[in-house]
A and B are shown apart, each in its own frame.
Chain A
Amino acid sequence: MTDAPLLEVDDLRKRFGGITAVDGASFSLERGTITGLIGPNGAGKTTTFDLISGFYRPDGGTIRFEGRDIQKIMRPTAGEKGIWSSASASGFGLLGASAGRVLYGVSPAVLGGAAALGAGAGVGIYFGQAAVNNRRSGFKHSRPFRLARAGMVRTFQITRELEEMTVLENLLLAPQHQDGENLFNALFRRGTVADDEAAIREDAAEVIDLLDLDHLRDERAGNLSGGQRKLLELGRVLMLEPDLVLLDEPVAGVNPALTDRIMDAIASMRDEGYGFCIVEHDMEVIMNLSDRIVVMSEGKKLSEGSPTDIQQDEAVLEAYLGG
């Protein structure tokens, strides 16, 4: 993608029942910059994140990542459609055959015909339900992994660790296109997998070093403190080498020393060309870190500008202090 912005959000809308969480927000992010997304509680920041990262489907508006509509990125591939429709066909074919058997008795012609009819119905039902699901608003996606593959990763406001796995394993999980994640390779191409794994382990060692997690390498993630978990999430993101990172409150509940370390890590990643979008309540952090700030209030974009502009913006002050 040439000069399209890294992320472009246009007139984004999302309602939950009677509550309008996001109401026409528009903004865009550039490569190699940190954009802070701030606003009072309930302004719709986290929902915006969920929409951008594909965990929710917007009711209106578009989100473009590197110029491509994320809904298109998440769409099932032809192969997946094939698998699903053939599975549906065989399932309903079997049902058809059973129905033929119950109604007309055993005869190859009847069973075959009923099975074929059932299979046809199965394909129809698959595409029908896909069409219905695509139209239905609020349909929850289960395919955000496609966005991560395309280069956009998020962290969670309440950290999500793989608690029973060690810090190292948490990091090793992240890289894309690992040879050993294919069952066939895991069994029959063990040499290749071992080489791949060794390279990933080296990367992980670097990340562990960068985040000062050495002493916790083999600790179960479930035993880490809140701040260490935030670091680990950041480390996982680093292992992915994405283009855009969405951080949901990366320093909430983290002690000042750790906060500084996380901020340093983010700043140095930015300098390497990563794009960041950060939701954070700690004003000092967000003002120091961000290149641009987008202020949201009641689901709308209230203001946008450099940190110094935002600090003097009347509307923003009003939104935070009164209003």
Chain B
Amino acid sequence: MVVADTVVSLGVFASFYALLALGMNIKYGHTGLLDFGHVGFYLIGAYTAALFVLPPESGSPGTVYVVGLNLPWVVAAAAAMLVAGVVGALVALPTLRLREDYLAITVLGVSAIFQRVVQAESWLVNGPDALRGIEPPLTGRFPVGGRTVFGAIAIALIGGAIWAVATWALGQALEMDGSSGTGGTDAARADGSGGQESRATLAGRLHAVATLGTDRLLGDRGGSGRGNRALSAAVDRGRNGYVGSSLLAGVVAGVVGAIVTFIAPVGLLAWGTVVSVFTWLVLLVGLGRYAGGFDAIDYAVTLALGAGYMLALAPMFFLDSLVLWVPLTLLAFGVVIGVTLFLRANWSRFASRPFRYGTFVGLWFGVIWYFPLQVLSSLRAGDAMAAATTLFNNTVWVLSLSAPEPIIGYSRFQLFLFGAIVFLSVYLLGLVVDSPFGRVLRAIRNDERVVSSLGKDPFTYKIQSMAIGSALAGLAGALAALYYQTLVFTMFAPRVTFIALLMMFLGGVGNNRAMVVGAVLYWAFEAATTELAGFVPPDIRENLQALRFVIMGVLFLVLLYYRPEGLLGERSRTGVGSE
């Protein structure tokens, strides 16, 4: 299996868990309501969505459910949100009158009741047995290749959206840079040199290319028509300028992609390559900005450390005997961790930017896994062609190349769909949180009595917060139903709530974007440990599962000790938590 596929399925998991964590973040991160029963709303969303899409009669005699509405998924997801939100508000009405810790416990109880009802009522959603046959949308249409109308439409949508988001992200990265870069005087800008700096950089040029000229089009409206001016005007207008040109560029890229794939046999491959390479470039630019001031030595040291961690795992690959590789691996890990800590304490470069160093060590580790490690076995077998194919496959992540012709498989479509929903949710929640409404929520988290003395009813705000958070959990449930296609009550154990909490603390309480990071990291850890478990004999693999939770717990403790505000800090906007 190509590792890009692994990453795609990881992304799908991460996206609906990110929604779950976002819901938790609205409740706890922004309003301070500790909801240990979050999973209950996830359950309600999942089963509501399932009942909305299931056919009126189940095909198999073993499956019973109360009603099947046979409606499209969009309706189902909206209904799931609505029902979960309303139930959230209803549960909140009596429980919010309680003190915070009592609230947490009561809601935990409510979620347990939901789970029991599902389990016990066999007429409702098939009781203790799995509810099967939930059909995701458009499954018959995928995989899509080139030269079909549907394929062209799908590619226009997917490619356009990816392009728009990537361009926008690039613009954001530039803006971060531009805020200091275009600090020049108006006089300097008037003669066209103001935007020179950001334009002169590689990233600036990339952005100029990526926007496909649309930034000029939009920026030129009131200006003189020189390209430099257009770019600096876009920087001046900040976010909005970038949103406009990014969207337009996305539309153009989407249409071009659709036409190309429809006309030429290799069009899809070419289009996929361009889009993929573009996303990689944007990633590189973003990392470059993030590194800010790293020089060759910094990159080399973090690479060495990342490689060190990967090498520490080497005994696993090469030694068959468990008694041999376990102590060796542990020893190697001990050495690398020791070196890391030593450098952290004694080396000024590391000590001044520990967080950035840590991030890059992790990144290098991932890069080594994603690229060179995947071709190791092919190279050892001397099969350079296979190695090159694997590399190409992993680079052109947008396409699945395992079939004879390049295709976009269903999992990639799902990632796109879920990713778009998460992106939209984060964006809308950003608006909510930055509004006066969000301000009241944060004030409630700080001190409810003040809010009350200022003439605002904390209760109604808390209800709304519970409803929004629960609706998001419901949406996550709907997507989960779509993904799993089979629902069992055991999927909605209290554990899920705590995973969402973990993601929230990992990313940074109160920071919406961090929820996505938290979800991705959690699932990356899951995927990595699952892969590692493959090296262990089956009879002790089960113990390893338990060990995995122990490791997770220890890492979580370390995080809470040394970085209680989470990896991304509380709120990225105010810059709290950055170094």
Q: Which of A27-35, A176-184, A273-281 contacts B (4 or more CB under 8 A)?
A: A176-184
Whether B446 sits at the interface, judged by CB under 8 Å, is: yes
- Known contacts A162-B443, A186-B431; decide if A87 and B90 are in contact (CB<8 Å): yes
Are B435 and A193 in contact, CB atoms less than 8 angstroms apart? yes
Question: Contacts of A4 on B, CB cut-off 8 Å?
Answer: none
Pair B452/A144 contact, Cβ less than 8 Å: yes
CB under 8 Å from chain B, chain A span 81-102? 84, 87, 90-91
* Nearest A-chain residue to B435, judged by Cβ: A186
> Do B454 and A236 touch across chains, with their CB atoms under 8 A apart?
yes
Among B428, B454, B464, the residue within 8 A (CB) of A145 is: B454
A90-B90, A165-B443 known; A176-B437 Cβ under 8 A: no
Which one of B71-79, B129-137, B455-463 contacts A?
A: B455-463
Q: Flag whether B349 is at the interface (Cβ < 8 A).
A: no
Among B94, B435, B458, the most chain A Cβ lie within 10 Å of the Cβ of B435
Stretch at the interface among A147-155, A260-268, A305-313: A147-155
Residues 151-195 of A, flagged 1 when their CB comes within 8 A of B and 0 if not, give 001101000111111000100111010111111011100100100
Q: Given the complex, which residues of B lie within 8 Å of A87, measured CB to CB?
A: 90, 93
How far, in whole Å, are A187 and B464 apart by their CA atoms in the complex? 14
- A15 is an interface residue with CB less than 8 A from chain B: no
Pair A180/B90 contact, Cβ less than 8 Å? no
Task: Say whether, besides A143-B457, A145-B454, A84 and B93 are in contact (CB < 8 Å).
Answer: yes
B453 lies within 8 A of chain A by Cβ: yes
A172 vs B453: C-alpha distance when bound (angstroms): 14
Tell me if A's interface is mostly helix, strand, loop or mixed: helix
With A and B bound together, what is the CA distance between A68 and B432 in angstroms?
Answer: 37
Q: Are A160 and B428 in contact (CB under 8 A)?
A: no
Map CB proximity to A onto B108-129 as digits: 1 under 8 Å, 0 otherwise: 0000000000000001000000
A84 to B92, CA, bound (A): 12
Contact A144 B453 (CB under 8 A): yes
Interface string of B434-456 (1 = CB under 8 A from A): 01111110110111011111111
| Shortest distance from the beta carbon of B269 to any chain A beta carbon, whole Å | 41
In the complex, whether A197 has a CB less than 8 A from a CB of chain B is: yes
Which residues 126-151 of A have a CB within 8 angstroms of B?
Answer: 142-149
Which B residues are CB-close (under 8 A) to A55? 449
Are B437's CB and A153's CB within 8 A? no
Tell me if A71 is interfacial: C-beta within 8 Å of chain B: no
CA distance A181 to B454 in the complex (A): 13
Interchain nearest-CB distance for A144 vs B (Å): 5
A160 touches B449 (CB 8 A): yes
A-B pairs with CB below 8 Å: how many? 104
A197 vs B435: C-alpha distance when bound (angstroms):
9
Evaluate contact between A169 and B453: CB separation under 8 angstroms.
no
Bin chain A's interface residue count.
35 or more
A46: CB under 8 A from chain B? no
Establish whether residues B459 and A142, one from each chain, have CB atoms under 8 Å apart when the complex forms: yes
A190 to B482, CA, bound (A): 33
| A47 CB–B CB distance under 8 Å | no
C-alpha spacing A163/B464, complex, angstroms = 23
The CA-CA distance from A146 to B452 in the complex, in Å, is 8
- Min CB–CB distance B307 → chain A (angstroms): 41
Identity of the chain A residue whose Cβ is nearest the Cβ of B428 in the assembled complex: A187
What's the minimum C-beta distance from A314 to chain B, rounded to whole angstroms?
Answer: 38
User: Is A297 located at the chain interface by the 8 A CB criterion?
Assistant: no
Q: Choose from A162, A180, A187, A196 the contact partner of B446 (Cβ within 8 Å).
A: A162
Question: Does A290 make an interface contact (CB < 8 A)?
Answer: no
The answer to whether B431 touches A145, judged by C-beta atoms less than 8 angstroms apart, is no
- Contacting pair B435 A180 (CB below 8 A): yes
Q: A165 to B449: give the CA distance in the assembly, Å.
A: 15
Q: Which residues of A contact B459 (CB under 8 A)?
A: 142
Pick from A145, A180, A186, A236: contact of B452, CB below 8 A.
A145
A188-210: CB near B (< 8 Å → 1, else 0) gives 00100100110000000000000
Q: In the assembly, what is the distance between CA of A142 and CA of B456, in Å?
A: 11
Contacts of B454 in A (CB 8 A): 145, 148, 153, 173-174, 236, 240
User: Is A106 interfacial (CB 8 A cutoff)?
Assistant: yes
Check A62 for interface membership: any CB of B closer than 8 A: no
- Structural contact, A183 and B93, CB atoms closer than 8 A: no
Q: A180-B435, A190-B431 known; 16 other A-B pairs, CB under 8 Å? A: A91-B93, A143-B457, A145-B453, A145-B457, A148-B452, A153-B454, A161-B446, A161-B447, A165-B439, A173-B443, A176-B455, A186-B431, A187-B431, A187-B435, A196-B436, A240-B455
Q: List 6 A-B contacts (CB under 8 A).
A: A145-B454, A148-B456, A165-B442, A180-B435, A185-B437, A187-B435
